[in-house]
């Protein structure tokens, strides 16, 4: 029996990096107090979701991993609380920048970096202006509390992301997120679609999925997004075992027996019955072989 308690946090973000880091720390401490071993913070929580607008001055937010204030801060917190913390950052790497997650183990050590694979580009979500496509490939880390795979926001809409990490031995899938209304049509609400997509990843791979999203209305010039929260924990059948509403700040936790889940995956035979030799169509751009 390997019982691991996972947590998702949810909070609004402003422009003050220190204030955001402090608020995130308080939520991490709350989750740890509730027994969490693996705690997920939302995407790019250091400041407002700046990708709403294409601004040259916003590029200066990117710094190398070893200089990032959130990473340096939460390395100490992870060690103090004995928890695993994936930290989402705007990473500068040489002449380019990435939307990255730094995986911090319960010792405070950095296990590695994942750079976001799928980069969206549309009104209010102008990420291609800031981020190069990730060059790390999908990543799964052996942490003190199980093998953990992390995708970032837009990655969560692609079943290939979840399946790749499952094939790499992931026992838990995490998705830090920043998603909400569409600037061109504030009435669009994709929150249930967003949840169901990831619930499907959990069910198809028989692996728990945890998603952390931000809340609050953020305005930059003539663009605004109301982030719809709805952070959740889905079990290995895809059922929502814990979820938050569209506006609250807080923490949700749930405990999983990773050994029991491993036996359950083996019983289902989903990976035994795969037919990779017939999946060539997945490697083509237009579906033609």
3-state DSSP assignment of residue 67 = helix
pLDDT digits (tens, 9 = 90+) for 230-270: 999 999 999 999 999 999 999 999 999 999 999 999 999 99
Q: Global pTM?
A: 0.96
pLDDT digits (tens, 9 = 90+) for 218-230: 999 999 999 999 9
Band (pLDDT 50/70/90 cuts) for residue 287 is: confident
Catalytic residue, chosen from 13, 51, 126, 153, is: 153
Q: What are phi and psi of 40, to 5 degrees?
A: -100, 120
Rounded to whole angstroms, how far apart are CA atoms 289 and 281?
6
Q: Which residue has the tokens 């209305």?
A: 217
Nearest to 124 by CA among 175, 182, 67: 182
pLDDT digits (tens, 9 = 90+) for 81-127: 999 999 999 999 999 999 999 999 999 999 999 999 999 999 999 99
pLDDT at position 159:
97
Told to judge if 116 belongs to the known catalytic residues of this protein, a careful annotator would answer yes
The domain spans of the chain are 3-283
CATH assignment, 3-283: 3.60.110.10
Catalytic residue, chosen from 13, 43, 218, 253, is: 43
Told to judge if 43 belongs to the known catalytic residues of this protein, a careful annotator would answer yes
Catalytic residue, chosen from 46, 91, 116, 127, is: 116
């Amino acid at each position: 029996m390997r019982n691991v308690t996972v947590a998702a946090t949810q909070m609004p973000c402003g422009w003050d990096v220190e204030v955001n880091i402090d608020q995130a720390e308080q939520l991490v401490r709350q989750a740890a107090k509730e027994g969490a071993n693996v705690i997920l913070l939302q995407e790019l929580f250091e400041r407002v979701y700046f990708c709403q607008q294409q601004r040259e001055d916003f590029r200066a937010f990117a710094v190398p991993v070893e200089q990032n204030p959130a990473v340096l801060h939460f390395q100490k917190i992870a060690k103090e609380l004995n928890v695993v913390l994936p930290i989402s950052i705007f990473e500068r790497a040489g002449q380019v920048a990435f939307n990255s997650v730094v995986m911090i183990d319960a010792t405070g050590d950095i296990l590695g970096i994942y750079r976001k694979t799928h980069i969206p580009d549309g009104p209010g979500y102008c990420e291609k202006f800031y981020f190069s496509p990730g060059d790390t490939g999908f990543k799964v880390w052996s942490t003190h509390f199980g093998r953990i795979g992390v995708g970032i926001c837009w990655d969560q809409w692609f079943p290939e992301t979840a399946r790749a990490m499952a094939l790499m031995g992931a026992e838990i899938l995490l998705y830090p997120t920043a998603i909400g209304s569409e600037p061109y049509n504030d009435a669009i609400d994709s929150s249930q679609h967003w949840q169901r997509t990831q619930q499907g990843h959990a069910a198809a791979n028989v692996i728990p999925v945890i998603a952390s999203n931000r809340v609050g209305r953020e305005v930059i010039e003539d663009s605004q997004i109301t982030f719809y929260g709805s952070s959740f924990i889905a079990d290995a059948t895809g059922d929502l075992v814990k979820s938050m509403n569209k506006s609250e700040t807080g923490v949700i936790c749930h405990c999983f027996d990773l050994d029991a889940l491993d036996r359950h995956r083996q019983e289902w035979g989903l990976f035994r019955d795969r037919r990779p030799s017939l999946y060539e169509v997945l490697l083509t751009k237009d579906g033609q072989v």
